[in-house]
Chains A and B, each alone.
Chain A
Amino acid sequence: MTETTTLTYIGQPLRRREDFKFITGKGRYVDDIKIAGMLHLAILRSPHAHAVIKRVDLAAAEAAAGVRLALSGADLAGKIGPIVPNWIMPGTKVPNRPVVAVDRVRFVGECVALVVATTPALAYDAVSLIEAEYESLPAVVDEWEAIKEGAPQLHENVPNNITTVYKVDGGDYRRAAREADQIITLRLTNNRLIPTCMETRSILAKPNADGTLTVYMPSQVPHMHRRWIADTVGIPEHQLRIIAPDIGGGFGAKMHLYPEELLCPFLARALGVPIKWWESRSESHQSTHHGRAHTEDIQIAFRNDGKILGLKVETLGNVGAYLSNMASGGPTVNTINFGTGTYKIENYAAISKVVVTNTVPVDAYRGYGRPEGAYIAERAIDAVARHLKLDQVEVRRKNFIQKADFPYKPYNGPAVIYDSGDYEGCLNAAMKAFDYTARTKERDELRRTDCYRGIGVAAYTHVCGMAPSRRLARIGFDRGGWESARVGIDSSGRATIYSGSMSQGHGHATSLAQIAADVLQIPIGSIDVVQGDTRQVQAGHGTFNSRSMAVGGSSVHVCAKRIVAKAKCIAASMLEVDEKDVAYQNGSFSVPGTDIQPLSFAKVARMAYLGHALPEGTAPGLDETLFYDPPGMGSPSGVHMAYVEVDTETGIVDVLDYVAVDDAGTLINPLLAAGQIHGGVVQGIGQAIWEEVSYDRGNGQLISSSLLDYAVPRAECVPNIRSSFQMTPSPTNPIGVKGIGENGSIAAPPTIVHAVLDALSPFGITHLDMPLTPPRIWSAIQNVRAGARQ
């Protein structure tokens, strides 16, 4: 008997259930939690990019008002740490990373010493009294400088500052280069960024009377953090409870293992009192991971009709002073596996080198590798169109992977499969929404009046929710690819979902409940969602890699189906009929074709807990837990278009219009999906036009050290984002859903760069690096004008 679902919550733009606490000021972030008797941790950070620590004198700090404890790295050596990455690519040389530096510092911001005091202010006061003496060493901040002969060396076991070399290829690039009509070479910079969650990091560790430890922290990955902290501090994992309350944004920055996350639990156990650390914004710029920071040298071999025959890529990924959690995988697997983007480029040769420098460690930031990979593919295709003076849309069409090609293995390599997509469909929808033909005409007419407008296009694809687990093992991950869900039905038929995914603003309390409601056929108001507490939630990986709906949502879906299956079995027993004759419709169990009175889900739930009339061999209760390991990965895709105007006198870029057509398969909640696109696109526009971490190349000082010097987009800087969707369901999971969270930040940087280059094409400017700040554009125009005058 087939089940028909009559309630369809999936696809509805439901308003979020979690909004009320936030809009009334009742959200609860870690820094809002205060426990009587808690002490405060403050950290002395290195002012040098590279130095030998000669002396750390804590005496004055120890004697200061309110100070309970002061420690240097030497005091902690051998007691906790080292910090070990969670993803170590085969062949990687892993530098030793102490929790607090012992004899050498390698970036501005590295922990050197710490103070615990009765108030945050007194802790900071005391930190300023620590006397630390250094002997500075030559520093290197740029990846291409770091691999040169004679460059300062950061770690003895990392010769030439290269931790990892990774190659991927398919076809025969050299033959393609011979057969090509032309070859273009480009050097691309993927600018270093600061994720800038509005809530900085904060940790509160509380020892409990029973010997266990509770750690409140804004973690995207609570169960992974539990394991990492347990292993690194030496606490039995089952005695450690991680609570991630409301989280003020993550974007990848809150899924790694940081020194402070180890120090608070360690100190709380050592002192027997709660210990809190809160990161100021300026501190965050030098203590929370940065993103991107790549240089790519690319060669594109193509025919004069615009068909790309081959692509060669050499990536240098700057990962800062130590290997953070996933740093050996980001510039390698995550980036160059995806360098051909949405195009059929069958001859591909790519190599990536992971490089350490005297800078803040670099790790995952919204898309991790896919924005870098898409930037390679998109700048390549755009350069070909521009060089051949062909229409940018037509060149894309000519090279696109076609709908009939899926599932598609790029460059016939073994590593990547795109499961599905319809790039032409997205392109056509984007051109229509953008009014491409009329806009092109308008742009051309305005140019005659010295008004410089440009149209940018970019297509992208992504592969989300890395899985299955055995695949992760092959590339050096120390984790799996599954997600877990528990669906607990109470004796009145209401449900609680315990999910290992972790919302940081995504709205899982709404979207996961929508998924469960459709399967359970009960009102969404009867479903609660619990996340972010390792004592309540059985297990999990968390939220990152655009995986929560595809992996976490699928686990809820499958688990809820098990509930219905068991309930049906119990209902059959209650109705005294064969199970196969029972149908579940509109939330009640009936026997079609008979006049047997249907049973409500609630009645069956009650019987499950009474246990009075259960079938032989059926255990009481209606509560299922599932670990779901996906068989494959879904590939969202899309086409974005932007219309910009460049003020040639000031170099200011004004983004006039932005159209996003995204295909994320089945949409659980289109309102929330559009919200993810809006936010991701604006972060991507930020990367393209304003955001850049700046270091002094001589001494390694961090120049963009506060929000005064690091320009995130403001409301007045960005346009409305006109978002719409296509739906090509993913065949890799039972809901057909694909990732959505990272798509905007993947697509927007090349879209904007192409639009600006289009606007500047009358000046003969064919390449500029992000961010496209006014000085950079103004200088480029001035250089052209100066050249013309000579």
Chain B
Amino acid sequence: MADAGEYLHTVTVTVNNAQYTVTVEARTLLVHLIRDDLGLTGTHIGCDTSQCGACTVDIDGKAVKSCTVLAVMADGSSITTIEGLGSDGSLHPIQAAFHEHHALQCGFCTPGMIMRIRELLRENPNPSEHEIRHGLSGNICRCTGYHNIVRAVESLTAGARRL
């Protein structure tokens, strides 16, 4: 087997407004860089086939499953993880809605779910129930049956906020 050294790369990423330079193996996935090298363990790994969405983060304004990206591909990008939401001890509105509507049970899918919803509402501030459900189809939740997650998103739509 070849020496691991020849596969090493240096990657610089901005995560939650802080810049990090990390040395990784070529095969390292972005999710592993986030969890293992940066210690941001709010981003979870729920599968190995990009089905579950637990690892969803925001990369340069797009919600991306961070297990589908090699760490080296993220070089130079700006990333937001669940730890980067909210400010000064106050919750982001999606986080607050999840609490209010009991949209989480075990909490494992929750960070990825919230990161995806953030993009969903950016793309479509007023989604119908059908559009919400369709928009969440890349994120699996095994506890809530999605019912209260949909309620939480509905409470955040432009229409609901006007009420």
Contacts and interface: CB of A to CB of B under 8 A. Distances in A.
A675 B107 contact: no
Given A23-B98, A25-B81, A249-B106, A679 B133 contact: no
B52 interface: yes
A19 B98 contact: yes
Given A280-B48, A706-B49, A720-B150, A16 B137 contact: no
A202 B137 CA distance: 26
B99 A16 contact: yes
B107 A246 contact: yes
B76 interface: no
B104 interface: yes
A272 to B, nearest CB: 24
Contacts, number: 181
B110 A23 contact: yes
A505 B143 contact: yes
B106 A505 contact: yes
A763 interface: no
A305 interface: no
A612 interface: no
Nearest to B147: A678
B159 interface: no
Given A15-B100, A708-B51, A247 B106 contact: yes
Interface in A47-87: 64-65
Given A24-B91, A505-B106, A714 B52 contact: no
A671 B100 CA distance: 10
A339 to B, nearest CB: 27
Interface in A680-733: 680-683, 706-708, 712-716, 718, 720-721
Interface in A642-674: 671-672, 674
A599 to B, nearest CB: 37
A28 B44 CA distance: 11
B48 A715 contact: no
Interface string A167-202: 000000000000000000000000000001111100
A15 to B, nearest CB: 6
Interface residues of A, number: 60
A715 B149 contact: yes
Contact of A198 (B52, B129, B150): B52
Contacts of A715: 132-134, 136-137, 139, 141, 146, 149-150
Best-buried of A29, A31, A720 by chain B (most CB within 10 Å): A720
Interface in A276-290: 280-282
A680 to B, nearest CB: 8
Contacts of A228: none
B106 A23 contact: no
Given A708-B49, A715-B133, A25 B40 contact: yes
Contacts of A31: 41, 45
B99 to A, nearest CB: 4
Contacts of B49: 281-282, 706-708
Nearest to A126: B1
B115 to A, nearest CB: 10
Contacts of A675: 102, 105, 143-144, 148
Interface in B50-64: 51-52, 54
Contacts of B148: 675, 678
B83 A24 contact: yes
B33 to A, nearest CB: 13
A25 B82 CA distance: 6
Contact of A505 (B91, B107, B139, B145): B107
Interface in A197-222: 197-200
Best-buried of B43, B99, B106, B110 by chain A (most CB within 10 Å): B106
Contact of B106 (A26, A504, A680, A681): A504
A22 B110 contact: yes
A145 interface: no
A506 to B, nearest CB: 7
Contacts of B139: 715
B145 A678 contact: yes
A734 interface: no
Given A22-B107, A27-B42, A707-B52, A15 B102 contact: yes
Rank and list the top 8 A-B pairs by shortest CB-CB distance, nearest first. A25-B42, A22-B107, A505-B106, A248-B108, A682-B145, A25-B82, A505-B105, A678-B145
7 contacts: A16-B99, A23-B107, A25-B40, A27-B42, A199-B108, A251-B142, A678-B147
